[in-house]
C-alpha cells in the first residue's frame, strides 16, 4: 500500500509557480530523492509534505488520508513525520543523549522505555559511546548522526531530509551519504530526501525525482535516470553528456558526418528531427577499426585532452564533421592531440530525448 502520495500538488507565490502540478507516489519503505537546481521547487515540495507550507492546489495523502489540500492542512506535529534540516538544529545545552531523547520526552514516553530506545538508536548511528558529550565537542559528521538519531528515535512514518549534508566537507559528505543509505536499509523508513547534489541522490536513493521549474521531469531508479534520461534537462543535469542532433531519412538516422541504419536503434520516436544524449563513458577510442568488436566505427581525430587522474577526458572530431564529442577513457588509453583514432559507437547507447 502506498504510504505517501502527492496529487496535482501546486504552490504559487503571487504569479510565480514554485511547484506546478506534481504527481508522485512513494511506496512503503522507499527512499526517494527530489533532485534539481536551486529554485526548482524541491524544498517547497518537502515543506508542504512536512506541513510547514500549505498547497495552493492538489493534495498530500498518507495511506489514503488527506494531510494537506487547498482547503486545509494537518499541522506538522500531527503528521507522524520527522524532518532533518541543513543546520541540524541540535540544542547546544543538551548532551547527545538528551538531544536524541527530546522527542520521546515531548511524547511523555516513560523514562525507562525512553532510556532503552535512546541507547538502541545511538548504537544504530554508532554514537553510543558519545551519549554524554555536548554538540560543541562533536565533529560535523557526529552532529549529523545526532540529528539522524533524534529524527528516527520516535519511529516516524515518514523521514524528511532537507539537504542535510550541505554543511559538510567533501570527504564527510561521502561518508555520511553511505551512512544514510546504511540506516535506510536497516530501518526501512519511508524517506524523502532533498538535494541538488547528483552524487548524493545516486548513492542514497531507490528512485530519483528530477525537478525543473516546479515540475518533475522524470522519476526512476538512479541507473535508469542516468542511462536512459527522458528529457534534455535530465540528461544534462545528471552527469555529463554529448547532445547530438540527427534526421531520420530513408531507413537511416543521419548525423553530421555519418549515418546509422534505423534498425540499429532499440527505440526511436516517430519524428524526423531527433536529439540524442550520448554519455562520454559510453564511447571508446581505438587505434584501428579491427578492435571495434561489433560497434560502429567512426574515423576521426583527437582534438583535445585533459588528464583527470581516474580517466582521460578526450574530445573527438569525426572526419568531415563539425561534431566535437567528449569521450572518457581509462588512464592507460593514451592518445596524442591531433592523432587519428577510431570511435567505437554502440547505437543502443544513443538515447533519444525530448
- Choose among 22, 10, 147: nearest CA to 89: 147
User: Are 186 and 326 within one domain?
Assistant: no
As beta bridge partners, residue 307 has 312
Please state the pTM of the whole predicted model: 0.92
Domain count, the chain: 2
Which residue, chain included where needed, has cell 515540475? 215
User: Are 177 and 310 within one domain?
Assistant: no
Integer Cα distance of 346 and 292 in angstroms:
10
Sign of CA dihedral 224, 229, 235, 240: positive
User: Are 31 and 89 within one domain?
Assistant: yes
For position 219, which CATH number holds? Answer: 3.40.50.300
User: Are 180 and 308 within one domain?
Assistant: no
Q: Which three cell numbers stand for residue 2?
A: 502506498
Residue by residue, pLDDT tens for the chain (354 residues) are 568 999 999 999 999 999 999 999 999 999 999 999 999 999 999 999 999 999 999 999 999 899 999 999 999 999 999 998 887 778 899 999 999 999 898 889 999 999 999 999 999 888 899 999 999 999 888 988 999 999 999 999 999 999 988 888 888 888 889 989 999 999 999 999 999 999 999 999 999 999 999 999 999 999 999 999 999 999 999 999 999 999 998 889 999 999 999 888 877 888 889 999 999 999 999 999 877 877 899 999 999 999 999 999 999 999 999 999 999 999 999 999 999 999 999 998 999 998
Question: Which residues are CB-contacts of 311 (< 8 A; sequence separation ≥ 6)?
Answer: 328, 329, 330, 331
Q: Which three cell numbers stand for residue 110?
A: 516513560
User: Are 143 and 181 within one domain?
Assistant: yes
Integer Cα distance of 187 and 77 in angstroms:
22
User: Are 36 and 164 within one domain?
Assistant: yes
Sign of CA dihedral 284, 289, 290, 293: positive
User: Are 86 and 168 within one domain?
Assistant: yes
Q: How many CB atoms lie within 10 A of CB 318?
A: 20
**How far, rounded to the nearest angstrom, does the alpha carbon of residue 70 sit from its chain's CA centroid?**
29
**How far, rounded to the nearest angstrom, does the alpha carbon of residue 4 sit from its chain's CA centroid?**
18
Domain span including residue 247:
242-352
String of DSSP letters for 1-19: --SEEEEEEEEEETTEEEE
Residue 177: inside a domain, yes or no? yes
Residue 234: inside a domain, yes or no? no
User: Are 192 and 313 within one domain?
Assistant: no
Question: Which residues are CB-contacts of 224 (< 8 A; sequence separation ≥ 6)?
Answer: none
Amino acid at each position: 500500500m502506498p504510504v505517501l502520495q502527492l496529487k496535482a500538488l501546486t504552490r504559487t507565490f503571487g504569479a510565480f509557480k514554485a511547484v506546478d502540478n506534481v504527481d508522485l507516489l512513494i511506496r512503503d519503505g522507499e527512499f526517494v530523492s527530489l533532485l534539481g537546481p536551486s529554485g526548482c521547487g524541491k524544498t517547497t515540495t518537502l515543506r508542504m509534505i512536512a506541513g510547514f507550507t500549505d498547497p495552493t492546489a492538489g493534495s498530500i495523502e498518507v495511506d489514503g488520508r488527506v494531510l494537506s489540500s487547498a482547503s486545509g492542512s494537518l499541522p506538522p506535529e500531527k503528521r507522524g513525520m520527522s524532518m532533518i534540516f541543513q543546520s541540524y538544529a541540535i540544542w547546544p545545552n543538551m548532551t547527545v543523549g538528551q538531544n536524541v531523547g527530546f522527542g520521546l520526552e515531548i511524547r511523555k514516553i516513560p523514562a525507562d522505555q525512553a532510556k532503552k530506545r535512546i541507547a538502541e538508536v545511538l548504537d544504530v548511528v554508532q554514537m553510543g559511546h558519545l551519549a554524554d558529550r555536548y554538540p560543541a565537542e562533536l565533529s560535523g559528521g557526529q552532529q549529523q548522526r545526532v540529528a539522524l538519531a533524534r529524527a528516527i528515535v520516535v519511529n516516524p512514518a515518514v523521514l524528511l531530509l532537507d539537504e542535510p549534508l550541505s554543511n559538510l566537507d567533501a570527504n564527510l559528505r561521502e561518508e555520511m551519504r553511505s551512512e544514510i543509505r546504511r540506516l535506510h536499509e536497516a530501518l526501512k523508513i519511508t524517506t524523502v530526501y532533498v538535494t541538488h547534489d547528483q552524487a548524493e541522490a545516486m548513492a542514497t536513493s531507490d528512485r530519483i525525482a528530477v525537478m525543473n521549474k516546479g515540475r518533475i521531469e522524470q522519476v526512476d531508479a538512479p541507473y535508469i535516470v542516468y542511462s536512459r534520461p527522458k528529457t534534455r534537462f535530465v540528461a544534462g543535469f545528471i552527469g555529463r553528456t554529448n547532445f547530438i542532433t540527427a534526421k531520420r531519412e530513408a531507413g537511416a538516422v543521419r548525423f553530421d558526418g555519418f549515418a546509422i541504419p534505423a534498425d540499429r536503434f532499440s527505440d526511436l520516436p516517430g519524428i524526423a528531427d531527433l536529439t540524442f544524449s550520448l554519455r562520454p563513458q559510453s564511447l571508446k577510442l581505438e587505434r584501428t577499426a579491427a578492435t571495434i568488436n561489433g560497434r560502429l566505427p567512426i574515423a576521426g581525430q583527437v582534438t583535445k585532452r585533459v588528464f583527470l587522474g581516474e580517466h582521460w577526458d578526450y574530445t573527438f572530431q569525426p572526419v568531415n564533421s563539425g561534431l566535437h564529442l567528449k569521450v572518457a577513457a581509462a588512464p592507460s588509453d593514451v592518445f596524442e592531440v591531433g592523432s587519428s583514432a577510431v570511435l567505437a559507437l554502440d547505437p543502443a547507447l544513443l538515447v533519444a530525448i525530448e
